[in-house]
Amino acid sequence: MDLELAGKSVIVTGGASNIGRAITLGFAREGANITLADLDAEQADKVAVEARQLGAAAIQVVPTDVTDIEQVQRMVTTAQSSYGDVDVLINNVGWDQLMFFMQTSPDFWRKVVEINFIGMLNCTHTVLERMVKTGGAIVSISSDASRQGEPKEAVYGAMKAGINSFMKTIARENGRYGVRCNVVCPGVTIPEGDDEIGVNSMWVDKDNMFTEEQLTRIAGGLPLKKLGRPRDVTGAVLFLSSQAAAGYITGQVLSVSGGYSMIG
């Protein structure tokens, strides 16, 4: 099926590493015009080279701290100036460190809130100001930690749950303008190689995330008996971004987690 994403103007935040990288390259294969917004310009430039090789109509890297509304506004203006009205926004930026709540501090809470939630608000508000005039799609990357209550991810899971609720509300408020808003919730999704990880990635210190024994145990507990890879998330994101394929879908939260979460 032709997703009709060729030539569309797409913003991917955090598009340089892991899931964001895979999403960026997925849109490249579809022939989209991509604005890759990421703090890690060096890693983003590498992804941009790959994207051009895979067939992106065009791609530009705009170094952006999504927690800074002025930087977000400049990034969106750059996207619109280069490729016209923004058709698709992918809110992908996310960050965490695995710790029990009582091991964390207020400074840590603020960082998790700023990166995972405030950054998403900044990007969504800035794009919506324009998108309500033209229609389009917003897909936010959440986490199955938002649906299950995951140990060592208390604040992160809470922020991702906030994304789920927020996107449903935005879908109700803006459907009349032809704006569709959906959420994808990955489970544990591990990079396939070090070249997929930027310096700001939560996976840059893999040993502080999961041990190999833990990963084996997690995979064994899933119905599909395997861990997620970044490419596993891409199809769901492209589908929900496509007016041709998902034009009558909005306000939905879709788990892509090997069956970890099964919520009707």
The better pLDDT of the pair 238, 193 is held by: 238
In a domain, 2, yes or no: no
Average pLDDT value for residue range 163-185: 98
pTM for the model stands at 0.94
Tally of CA atoms within 13 A in the half-sphere of 48 that contains its CB: 20
Where in the sequence numbering do the catalytic residues fall?
156
- Distance from C-alpha of 167 to C-alpha of 165, rounded to nearest angstrom: 6
Is 46 part of a structural domain of the chain?
yes
Residues 6+ apart with CB under 8 A from 133: 85, 177
Instruction: Using alpha carbons, select from 138, 155, 137 the residue that is nearest to residue 146.
Output: 155
pLDDT for the residue 47: 97
How far apart, in Å, do the first and last CA atoms of the chain sit? 27
More confident site: 205 or 236: 236
Residue 186 has pLDDT above 80, yes or no: yes
The pLDDT assigned to 210 comes to: 76
Q: What's the pLDDT score for residue 208?
A: 62
Domain for residue 1, yes or no? Answer: no
Residue 107 reports pLDDT greater than 70: yes
What mean pLDDT is reported for the chain? 93
The predicted pLDDT at position 199 comes to 66
Does residue 201 carry a pLDDT above 70? no
Over residues 198-220, mean pLDDT: 73
Predicted confidence band at 20 (pLDDT cuts at 50, 70, 90)?
very high
Question: How confident is the model at residue 215, as a pLDDT?
Answer: 85
Q: Does a structural domain hold residue 77?
A: yes
Note whether residue 261 is domain-resident.
no
Residue 3 lies in a domain: no
Tokens representing residue 166 in the block: 């927020």
For 113-150, the pLDDT digits (tens) are: 999 999 999 999 999 999 999 999 999 999 999 998 88
Q: Would you state the pLDDT for residue 222? A: 82
Q: Is residue 68 one of the residues assigned to a domain?
A: yes
Q: Is residue 228 very low, low, confident or very high in pLDDT (cuts 50, 70, 90)?
A: confident
For every residue of 23-56, DSSP letters joined together read: HHHHHHHTT-EEEEEES-HHHHHHHHHHHHHHT-
Whether residue 151 is predicted with pLDDT greater than 80 in this model: the reply is yes
* pLDDT of 149: 86
Q: ∠243-12-93 over CA atoms, to 5°? A: 125
Q: Residue 233 belongs to what domain range?
A: 9-256
- Check pLDDT > 90 for residue 61: yes
**If you average pLDDT over residues 200-206, what whole number do you get?**
63
214 found inside a domain = yes
DSSP state of 220: H
Q: What is the CATH number of the domain that holds 86?
A: 3.40.50.720
Once rounded to an integer, what is the mean pLDDT over residues 73-85? Answer: 98
Q: What total number of domains does the chain contain?
A: 1
